[in-house]
Structure 1
Amino acid sequence: MNFRKYLVPVFGVLLLAFAWAEYGWPGVAVVSGAIVMFLLLHFNRAMAVLRRAANRPIGYVDSAVMLNAKLKPGVALMHVMALTRSLGELRTPKDTQPELYRWTDGGGSWVDLEFLDGKLRKWSLTRPDPAAEQAKPPAQPPAT
């Protein structure tokens, strides 16, 4: 069970109770203002990440290799979206755990990420095979 989602509201209520006991209504007003500022800062950051991601293709990243180097276990999906500046391509049915996302770059490499409860659990980088690329016949220009 994820206790973190319960700890923050409980901590806020305890802060409000402490402010009331020590400073009365002025203390409650100051702590309430601080809590609202905290919530607005997080909301503003989430909207900025989503605004940047809305202007990019889904599942695209500039360099899959660089993304692979920057990833760490336990980071949130929102953090990965801030790194890539795009939404990931969902590879599993909606609302199933774990969630699998893919980000692909222009060179054909991609990174598959597995999130459990919104936190990165594991990932893998896949690069195209250079021998297979050389075996392909060159594209023919259209006949005029």
Structure 2
Amino acid sequence: MNLRNIFVPAGVIGLVLVGYASTGWPGVAAVVGGLVMWALLHFTRLMNVMKKAANRPIGYVGSAVMLNARLKPGVNLMHVMAMTQSLGERLSAENAQPEVYRWTDGTQSHVTCEFANGRLQKWTLERPQAEAEAE
């Protein structure tokens, strides 16, 4: 079970109670205003990431090698989408865990990422073999 499902609502209720205990209803209004501001900031970031991703082809990234170097385990899918500025090409079945997405660049190098519960678990970079190396 994800502990965020318990701690986030408990933290919100705790903040509202502390606001009420410290200054009464004006404290509750200040805490609720802060929480609404926090939610609006995250919503605005999500909309900006999605707007940039809508203008690019699905599964495209400028450089798969640079994406591979910038990835870190534990980041969420929205963070990876912000780095690539595009939606990933889904390789897994819908609503299946882990979710697998691929981003490909112009040289046909691609990064395949696995997300479990929305967090990056592992990724692999695959580069095409040059025809000169094969000969």
Question: Normalised by the shorter chain, which TM-score bucket?
Answer: over 0.9
1:115 is paired with a residue whose SS is strand
Task: State the partner residue of 1:45.
Answer: 45
Task: State the partner residue of 1:138.
Answer: none
1:56 is paired with a residue whose SS is coil
> Aligned residue pairs: how many?
135
Give, as a single letter, the amino acid of the residue that structure 1 aligns with 2:55. Answer: N
1:26 is paired with a residue whose SS is helix
Task: State the partner residue of 2:59.
Answer: 59
Task: State the partner residue of 1:78.
Answer: 78
1:100 is paired with a residue whose SS is strand
Where do 5+ consecutive residues of structure 2 fail to align?
none
The percent identity for this pair of structures is: 58
User: TM-score of the superposition, structure 2-length normalised?
Assistant: 0.95
Shift of 1:60: 0.1
Distance in 2 separating the partners of 1:71 and 1:16:
37
The structure 1 segments of at least 4 consecutive aligned residues displaced by more than 3 Å after TM superposition are 132-135
Deviation readout 1:5-58 (Å, 9 max, x if unpaired)? 331221111010111112111101111100000000011101110010000000
Task: State the partner residue of 2:101.
Answer: 101
Task: State the partner residue of 1:2.
Answer: 2
Give, as a single letter, the amino acid of the residue that structure 1 aligns with 2:60. Answer: Y
RMSD value over aligned CA atoms?
Answer: 1.4
Give, as a single letter, the amino acid of the residue that structure 1 aligns with 2:57. Answer: P
Give, as a single letter, the amino acid of the residue that structure 2 aligns with 1:18. Answer: V
Distance in 1 separating the partners of 2:95 and 2:133:
36
Structure whose alpha-carbon radius of gyration is higher: 1
User: TM-score of the superposition, structure 1-length normalised?
Assistant: 0.90
1:28 is paired with a residue whose SS is helix
Where do 5+ consecutive residues of structure 1 fail to align?
136-144
